[in-house]
Structure 1
Amino acid sequence: MKTKTSLLILLTALGAIITPLYADAATAPEAPNPNVQYDLTGAGATFPFPLIDLWRVEYNNIYDNVNLNYQSIGSGGGIKQHIEKTVNFAASDAPMKESERELAPGTLHIPESIGGVVLVYNLPEVPNKGLKLTAEDISGIFLGKITKWNDPKIVATNPELNLPDKNIVTAQRSDGSGTTFVFTDYLSVVSPEWHDKVGKGKSVPWPTGLAAAGNEGVARIVKSTEYAIGYVELAYAFQTGMSYASIQNADKSAFIEPSLDSISAASSGAADSLPAAKDSWADVSIVNAPGSNSYPIASFTYLLVYDDLKPVTKNKEQAKAVIHLINWMITDGQEFSSSLLYVPLADKVTKLGQQGLKQITYDGEILWDANASPPSEVTQEIKQQTETETGGCLIATATYGTEMAPQVQLLREIRDNQLMNTASGMSFMTGFNQLYYSFSPFIADMERENPAFKEMVKIGITPLISSLSIMQYAESDSEVLGYGIGVIMMNLGMYLAAPAMLIFGLNKKYRG
């Protein structure tokens, strides 16, 4: 009885922090070891580069021992480096062709975001966003068949505009580009002539026009050349303030301006028909998608990663870090998408990507143990109760900003590996929830509203969490009790005895 009572005291001391952390541990891979420096590499698409670069910064703010070096060299270059196994992962706006997959067996496609390609133009006579174009207009321009801005077809589409009698200058990518793939995929769908004469690809034999590398190269041509038109990704066009056209939708009922909503509409029906990460994605396309509000030139953009990371990583620890980073990108990282005009992934697409990540091995060893033994029915019941009452993590997550923080991961491990494996722990959790959730939402809200209070809480609980790390060595009820009493005594000394002795000493000194 005394043993059980002492254990309950221990669990009460730990419960205020650990109780909220009831997300299934299998939903997140192992976090990077905070004592190891990780240098990860990626290369490829320019299309998602602004988002990947923001992810690099935000992830490093959480895991400052993980540095990502991503080279924005175009989808073609990224796939080349992926095939040559010179980077940990690649990024591409174009899914790999069958011929490319044969050179890189075991490649997984992990959707990372959704973006749009926009047509930017330099027409002094036309206001920003004033130009409208049909599929026939666009294919005619880039086939070199429509050569003047006052061509009858463009005039018919834009009767309200005073279009000039000027030659059209087209601008396109010179490098292997996923943006080019998306644009030419659209042209191949809407124009049989384009499909037969030019086709789709990361590089194509352009019938006419000027070429430059990267979104910035195409933008530079358009900005510096009056009466030019070219294609760039949506975020780049918005960030540089370029004029862009509205494109007629698939059912020809409206001209759609590129936006988060219209690109999201284009992707909304795709989630249920996507292949598994390990299968071919060569035929996946959401261009010219149905729907009155769907922007017609939209696409997924992908991360490419091998299903066995040994050939592209230094060791197993680095391989685990790669998986953790990619999982963060497609989960927590999605909250940064909208600010850069990328559409966040739908939940179904995220889960599809996670299923792929769970297949990844290092020399045949599974790195994300998503098939661990399921919790007992009692554990499940308690977790369901907690999730129903709270909807997620509270104090610890509010303090450290994310459930993926190393401190939160540590608490999860202690919960799952030590506390939740005892009968007393289960009994305690059942009774403690009601008390804990009577005050923890208030504290978490105060942390979110008051940064100074959040820092005070962090200062207060960080030493406690550090001391809890010794609990990882407890493997039985008796060891949980022994280590637990040690943790309690350590924290009593740290939080109560030491301040009391200091106050007593100062009081004695000044009285004397």
Structure 2
Amino acid sequence: MHRPEIHAVNRRTLLLGTGAALAAPMALGMREAVAQQVTITGAGASFPRPVYERWGTQAREAAGIQLNYQSIGSGGGINQITNRTVDFGASDAPLPAEQLRERNLLQFPTVMGSVVLIVNLPGVQDNALRLTPELVTDIFLGKITRWNDTRIAETNRDIRIPNLPISIAYRADASGTTFTFTTYLSRVSTEWQQGPGAGTSVRWPVGNGARGNEGVANAVRNTPGAIGYTENAYATVNRLITTQLRNKSGRFVRPVMETFQAAAAQADWSRPGFAADLIDLNGENVWPIVTPTFILLPTNPVADRVAGSRNSMRFFDWAFRSGAQAATSLEYIPLPSSVHDAIRAAWAEQVRGPNGERLWPISG
């Protein structure tokens, strides 16, 4: 289904601009360095896969970097980078500072994205269905089992909801998207917090698991009466039906760029590991489930991974300078330029080669 309200927004200037980047690391003198294409490997979160793949396609020619990214879930990405089998890992669930130190990892965000609810309800239009935090929680707890439940009907008196059983799709793999969604459920429901709780994997009371954001999107698309949670880009690309949510300020909001930006504008990037918390924030126009997605980069790459670490930083430096349009076309939110600068400073300070040498900035 065409979503005109979103595509119109994408043509506007973002409130959170990427700004001018530091020129030194990728100055004109780098042209000789990127003339020969190199390959970097990464693995992890499916949440950012659409934008990483788009950046990878563009960076092949623009920066001479070929990206091989495996969308295996945040848990898999954390394991692979911990075992040093890839150049970088990717996770939507930020690691605590203690774990970053223990594993010799630097964590930094790349973009912000939003988790949305997707439904397959014949006759119900995109963003017409309104759900409250209480309804969402009771649906995923298995307390509400049919779409024509009186509580859902009372909240949606202006639309006709089919009399179908509710079929829940959730992530079967360890997932940062699950971490984000279950953190939201834990914030809005004491019962959820004391029951399944928040995590990359939880014991779901009801429903069926699917692997990756891709799997959840396909499960909902193929099952009338289904509901699931996914990163917004998957809903947009697959033209799935999304819902409104009542936010912490008591207003029903649609999952569109303005509401995502309203949450993103409140980000506090001073927390360890750049772990800004954007879930269930106050604000009249705030979408309640927004999160950064993160890269995990070794601070002490072994000799045969030094080039991969350098080129990974080159890749994300290029993305910060040149990837904003690709990100917003997929409805991700670029980071402010001040955060880009802070990330580059962290690369310079924390990432060291086998002999203690700085790996960033790269001289031309």
TM-score band, normalised by shorter chain? 0.7 to 0.9
Shift of 1:223: 1.6
Q: Which residue is equivalent to 1:302?
A: 294
Taking a change above 3 Å as real, the CA distance of residues 295 and 314 of structure 1, as seen in their structure-2 partners, is same
Q: Is 2:332 the counterpart of 1:336?
A: no
Question: Per residue, is there more helix in 1 or in 2?
Answer: 1
Q: Is 2:271 the counterpart of 1:275?
A: yes
Q: How does 1:75-474 map to 2 (within 5 A)?
A: 75-97=74-96, 100-101=99-100, 103-104=102-103, 106-252=104-250, 254-271=251-268, 273-277=269-273, 281=275, 284-309=276-301, 311=302, 314=304, 316-359=306-349, 360-363=351-354, 364-369=356-361
- Encode CA deviations 1:451-483: one digit per residue, 9 max, x unaligned: xxxxxxxxxxxxxxxxxxxxxxxxxxxxxxxxx
Shift of 1:36: 4.7
- CA distance in structure 1 between the aligned counterparts of 2:286 and 2:21, rounded to whole angstroms: 35
- CA distance in structure 2 between the aligned counterparts of 1:70 and 1:317, rounded to whole angstroms: 17
Taking a change above 3 Å as real, the CA distance of residues 194 and 340 of structure 1, as seen in their structure-2 partners, is same
Q: Which residue is equivalent to 1:43?
A: 43
- CA distance in structure 1 between the aligned counterparts of 2:35 and 2:24, rounded to whole angstroms: 23
Q: Which residue is equivalent to 1:33?
A: 33
Structure 1 residue identity aligned to 2:287 = Y
Shift of 1:286: 0.6
- Encode CA deviations 1:430-458: one digit per residue, 9 max, x unaligned: xxxxxxxxxxxxxxxxxxxxxxxxxxxxx
- Contact 2:213–2:231 (CA<8 Å) still a contact in 1? yes
Q: Which residue is equivalent to 2:5?
A: none
- Encode CA deviations 1:127-171: one digit per residue, 9 max, x unaligned: 232101010110110011111212222122111122233321111
Question: Per residue, is there more strand in 1 or in 2?
Answer: 2
Q: Name the SS for the 2:295 alignment partner.
A: strand
- CA distance in structure 1 between the aligned counterparts of 2:110 and 2:292, rounded to whole angstroms: 7
Structure 2 residue identity aligned to 1:323 = M
- CA distance in structure 1 between the aligned counterparts of 2:185 and 2:48, rounded to whole angstroms: 21
- CA distance in structure 1 between the aligned counterparts of 2:35 and 2:238, rounded to whole angstroms: 41
More relative contact order, 1 or 2 (CA 8 Å, 6+ apart)? 2
Deviates more, 1:204-213 or 1:339-348: 339-348
Q: Name the SS for the 1:301 alignment partner.
A: strand
Q: How does 1:2-17 map to 2 (within 5 A)?
A: none
Greater gyration radius: 1
Q: TM-score, normalised by structure 2?
A: 0.87
- Contact 1:276–1:352 (CA<8 Å) still a contact in 2? no
4+ residue runs over 3 A deviation: 22-32, 34-37, 97-103, 315-319
Shift of 1:295: 0.5
- Contact 1:76–1:92 (CA<8 Å) still a contact in 2? yes
Taking a change above 3 Å as real, the CA distance of residues 117 and 23 of structure 1, as seen in their structure-2 partners, is closer
- CA distance in structure 2 between the aligned counterparts of 1:34 and 1:314, rounded to whole angstroms: 19
Shift of 1:23: 8.5
Structure 2 residue identity aligned to 1:158 = N
Q: Is 2:41 the counterpart of 1:58?
A: no
Q: Name the SS for the 1:183 alignment partner.
A: helix
Q: Which residue is equivalent to 1:379?
A: none
Structure 2 residue identity aligned to 1:337 = A
- CA distance in structure 1 between the aligned counterparts of 2:72 and 2:306, rounded to whole angstroms: 27
- CA distance in structure 2 between the aligned counterparts of 1:368 and 1:319, rounded to whole angstroms: 10
Taking a change above 3 Å as real, the CA distance of residues 102 and 356 of structure 1, as seen in their structure-2 partners, is closer
Alignment gaps of 5+ in structure 2:
1-19
Taking a change above 3 Å as real, the CA distance of residues 148 and 333 of structure 1, as seen in their structure-2 partners, is same
- CA distance in structure 2 between the aligned counterparts of 1:156 and 1:179, rounded to whole angstroms: 30
How many residue pairs end up in the alignment?
Answer: 341
Q: Name the SS for the 1:295 alignment partner.
A: coil
Q: TM-score, normalised by structure 1?
A: 0.63
Structure 2 residue identity aligned to 1:96 = L
Q: Which residue is equivalent to 2:17?
A: none
Shift of 1:342: 0.6
Shift of 1:318: 4.0
Shift of 1:232: 1.1
Identity of aligned residues (%): 38
Structure 2 residue identity aligned to 1:275 = R
Shift of 1:227: 0.8
Q: Name the SS for the 2:323 alignment partner.
A: helix
Q: Name the SS for the 1:361 alignment partner.
A: coil
- Encode CA deviations 1:266-303: one digit per residue, 9 max, x unaligned: 011114x53254x7x4xx42111111111011110111
Taking a change above 3 Å as real, the CA distance of residues 122 and 318 of structure 1, as seen in their structure-2 partners, is closer
The RMSD of aligned alpha carbons is 2.3
Q: Name the SS for the 1:331 alignment partner.
A: helix
Shift of 1:102: 5.9
Q: Name the SS for the 2:277 alignment partner.
A: coil
Structure 1 residue identity aligned to 2:357 = E
- Contact 2:37–2:60 (CA<8 Å) still a contact in 1? no
- CA distance in structure 1 between the aligned counterparts of 2:323 and 2:123, rounded to whole angstroms: 41
- CA distance in structure 1 between the aligned counterparts of 2:286 and 2:127, rounded to whole angstroms: 17
- CA distance in structure 1 between the aligned counterparts of 2:313 and 2:236, rounded to whole angstroms: 32
Shift of 1:103: 4.9
Taking a change above 3 Å as real, the CA distance of residues 264 and 47 of structure 1, as seen in their structure-2 partners, is same
Shift of 1:125: 3.6
Structure 2 residue identity aligned to 1:144 = G
